[in-house]
Amino acid sequence: MAKTKKERSVVSKIVSWTITVVCLAVFIYASYGLVDAIKDYYNNRQVLSNLQDIYYESNEEDTDSKWIRSGFDSLLAENEDVVGWITVDNTQIDYPIVQGETNNTYLYHNFYGEESRAGSIFLDFRNDIEALDYNTIVYGHRMKDGSMFQQLTKFMKEDFFQENRTFEFDTLYERYEAEIFAVYKTTTDFNYIQTEFDNDGEFKLFLLEIMKRSEHRADVDLSDADKIITLSTCDSGLDELTGRLVVHAKLTKIS
């Protein structure tokens, strides 16, 4: 038997109400996630801003330590895992570097060990900050608000790469100028985070492979006697899980 006009109206209202409730639930869920993300971004920026104040203010003070460089005493009081600081001009990158027992320690934890989707800028657990390896690796997330290592993407543009070829890498013990010589996208199938090499010749082959992969050419003198720093962040556009954006630079100690 065909439904009456009244019955069809009731069914229509029920369907409409159900769709409205579902849409509202989806909106509330999405809004909660968005608010949570915005809150996390805000907290991350506040933490980093406070650390910048601590670092630069203490840099202006004398230190009693014979080994730890000025600026790091105060940061070490906040977190004994701090090992350095990285500053890249014309980007937002001006951050402390920490090192955990594994590379998961600070992947989703901030400088104070609190859970954070932004995580921290951190040194590979295999590296020795006191006696740098052939390849020193620093990791950071690629956050949508432009923080952490997101702005490494700027180096994919030829003009920016050529005009911003150096950055500062400070450790607890030394200060370095880092001269960028390669930037590229890759997957983790390429072991660009190799830290140990059997000999200088193997390291030289590694350097040649890096330069071959680079998006841009750089006139940088490199030899197997040099040490490099590698900045690594995700590139989900290349691959959701294994895509990476990588920047390599030659380290020169500043006396």
Active site residues: 234
How many angstroms separate the CA atoms of 39 and 34, rounded? 9
DSSP lists the bridge partners of residue 186 as 244
Residue closest to 138 by CA, chosen among 150, 127, 151: 127
Q: How far apart are CA 129 and CA 138, in angstroms?
A: 11
In angstroms and rounded to an integer, the radius of gyration of the C-alpha atoms of the chain is 24
Bridge partners of residue 234, in order along the sequence = 244
* Buried residues in 152-179 as b, exposed as e (16+ CB within 10 A): bbbbbeeebbeebbebebbbbebebebb
Report how far Cα 188 is from the mean position of its chain's Cα atoms.
16
At 29 the three-state DSSP class reads: helix
**Encoded amino acid at 23, one letter:** C
- Paired with 225 in beta bridges are none
